[in-house]
Amino acid sequence: MALIVQKYGGTSVGSVERIQAVAEKVKAAKDRGNQVVVVVSAMSGQTNRLIALAHEINAEGDPREMDVLISTGEQVTIALLSMALQRIGCPARSYTGGQVHILTDSAHSKARIQDIDGARVQADLEAGRVVVVAGFQGVDQQGDITTLGRGGSDTTAVAMAAALKADECQIYTDVDGVYTTDPRIEPKARRLERITFEEMLEMASLGSKVLQIRAVEFAGKYNVPLRVLSSFEEGEGTLITFEEESMEQAKISGIAFNRDEAKLTILGVPDHPGVAYQILGPISDANIEVDMIVQNIAADTSTTDFTFTVHRNDYKKALGILQATAESLGAREALGDDTMVKISIVGVGMRSHAGIASQMFEALSSEGININMISTSEIKISVVVDEKYLELGVRTLHEAFSLDSEAAN
């Protein structure tokens, strides 16, 4: 008998009809002789609605109360799904994160799971019940409700699968697998049969929200077999695998993008040791995360220009800090632009193929797309470009690296 953890995202449980359809899928898996744990998200749009309500009352809502609020969406769907299962003759029980002891740290809105006590779930499974667990939420040592960050139900599912030593963790969503890029941007995107954990981790951290980053991290660390599939149609989906020697590697596996970049530049800073720290220290003290960094020595070598990117939400705050720094360091000017995006190509095949970067830059230049910043690692190359080039950039690269569906066939 296999133990399977299935996770259904917001669209998959977005209406009564959808919840009933999910119940049928869960029952079918159980009828095939499996033990089944189901993790569900809130109905689509619900988490956003709750956040908007809170903002109407207080834009800077208390993090503890925010988590009490936004964790409620999942409590609705666990109860409804359990009822739908019972209705079709499938014994089921719902549990909130706290009830199955999903213990997290106290970092509200981005808590990390520390431990799960699987005993209660195990007892239900042995009694022949389907267990339905609320995604996205846990409790800290004090018993306060926490949430795991947007998209966090993926992480709940993988963590449950790890704790229960499940045979597979299946992430059911509104696309039938992981694609070469977001099919909403490039209709020619192609479903991947497999993708390595390393690549999936890069794709997720570079903006592909099909899986939450922490879910991929967790699955890699605890060896959880992970598959992304459609809740709307049958199919094999995409298996997330460890790299095998024998695997024929394409140069590039996928393209990720992130619409939330903002760029800040300080010009004409007197150059001396410690200047990078003087510029970025106050930014990090304000809890603003910096992504890419570029430093240029000016022609006269006595001053430097320094550019970095932050999340758009932090743009105004970061610019204010940088302007103050510019004044105190005697720099010429601090300026910024919050209409930037980042496009990245990802692939373990990059390790064994030279010239990928120049191929990328050539493709972008052939479309007149100006690159503002570049960063590379062993298996990815990212560029920051103006947001008006997002679609064109993604599609151009998709074609340049032969990722289009026709090219593969």
Rounded CA separation 391/396 (Å): 8
* Number of Cβ atoms within 10 Å of the Cβ of 193: 12
Q: Residue 226: phi, psi to the nearest 5?
A: -125, 135
Q: Residue 82: phi, psi to the nearest 5?
A: -60, -40
Rule CB under 5 A: say whether 207 interacts with Mg ion: no
Is 277 annotated in a binding site? The answer is no
Closest approach, Cβ 10 to Mg ion, in A, equals 7
Which one, 136 or 315, has the nearer CB to ligand ASP? 136
Sheet with 3-8, side-by-side order of all strands = 92-95, 130-134, 35-40, 3-8, 168-173, 226-230, 238-241, 194-196
> Which uninterrupted H or E stretch holds 364?
helix 356-366
Rule CB under 6 A: say whether 95 interacts with ligand ASP: no
Is 146 annotated in a binding site? The answer is no
Helical H segments across 97-191, by residue range: 119-126, 153-163
Q: If contact means CB under 5 to 8 A according to the sort of partner, which of ligand ADP, Mg ion, ligand ASP, none does residue 182 touch?
A: ligand ADP
| Subset of residues 114 to 153 that bind Mg ion, contact rule: CB under 5 A | 151
Q: Got the DSSP string for 209-250?
A: TTS-HHHHHHHHHTT--EEEEESSS----EEEE---TTPPPP
Of the ranges 40-48, 81-89, 223-231, 341-349, which one interacts with ligand ASP (CB under 6 A)? 40-48
Which one, 152 or 268, has the nearer CB to ligand ASP? 152
| Subset of residues 4 to 43 that bind Mg ion, contact rule: CB under 5 A | 9
| Subset of residues 228 to 287 that bind ligand ADP, contact rule: CB under 6 A | 254
Q: If contact means CB under 5 to 8 A according to the sort of partner, which of ligand ADP, Mg ion, ligand ASP, none does residue 82 touch?
A: none
Closest approach, Cβ 353 to ligand ASP, in A, equals 35
Beta bridge partners of 294: 307
Q: Cite the annotated binding site for substrate by residue number.
A: 47, 74
- Which residues of the chain form contacts with ligand ADP (CB under 6 A)? 9-12, 41, 151, 173-175, 178-179, 181-182, 184, 208-210, 254
